[in-house]
Amino acid sequence: MESEQIKEFRPLILVAEDDDSNFKLIKAIIGKKCDIQWAKNGEEIVGLFKQYRHEAKAILMDIKMPVMNGLEATKIIREEDKEIPIIMQTAYAFSSDRENAMNAGASEVLVKPITLGVLRNALSGYFPALQW
């Protein structure tokens, strides 16, 4: 009898990040356990969401980006999908920034610089099956 191989759970995470070094950090933190599609601005992440809406399991969304910011992109995505986790990232730790992100539809807000523990902990809340 042939042994069946259990397919490892690898959620597709859409990442909106305009800074190359920040994206490389995110990829280094989650790339071994997650599949990643990268957008460099809000307009691109909306396009990726429309392309991968049935496969994507979460979105990491920078707030401050060119062309369209993360708040605007989140509002557009929320019009089509109320459930997908959107974890917003901001360099600003002001309570008003967090409030604006939550009002736009963020599931939660992380303050940059993003660390391995913080990002993995946030994703583990949505994907308990992931073993970091």
What's 40's domain CATH number?
3.40.50.2300
Provide the percentage of residues in the chain whose pLDDT is more than 90: 80
Q: How confident is the model at residue 131 (pLDDT cuts 50, 70, 90)?
A: confident
Measured in degrees and rounded to the nearest 5, phi and psi for residue 122 equal -60, -45
Q: Is the pLDDT of residue 77 over 50?
A: yes
DSSP reduced 3-state for 66: coil
Closest to 102 in 3D by CA, of 67, 128, 65, 63:
63
Residue 17 located in a structural domain: yes
Residue 3 counted as domain residue: no
Alpha helices in the chain (DSSP H): 20-30, 42-52, 70-80, 95-104, 116-126
- pLDDT recorded at residue 5: 52
61 falls within a domain: yes
pLDDT digits (tens, 9 = 90+) for 7-16: 678 999 999 9
On whether residue 127 sits in a domain, the answer given is no
Asked, for residue 75, whether it belongs to a domain, the answer is yes
pLDDT at position 1 over 60:
no
Q: What's the structural domain count of the chain?
A: 1
Q: Taking 70 as the threshold, does the pLDDT of residue 6 lie above it?
A: no
The residue-averaged pLDDT of 13-42 equals: 96
Query: Is position 91 within any domain?
Result: yes
pLDDT in tens, 78-112: 999 999 999 999 887 778 888 999 999 999 999 98
Residue 120 has pLDDT above 50, yes or no: yes
Model confidence at 4: pLDDT above 70: no
Residue type present at position 79: E
Position 20 in a domain: yes
Query: Would you say residue 104 lies in a domain?
Result: yes
| pTM for this entry | 0.91
The domain containing residue 31 runs over which residues?
12-121
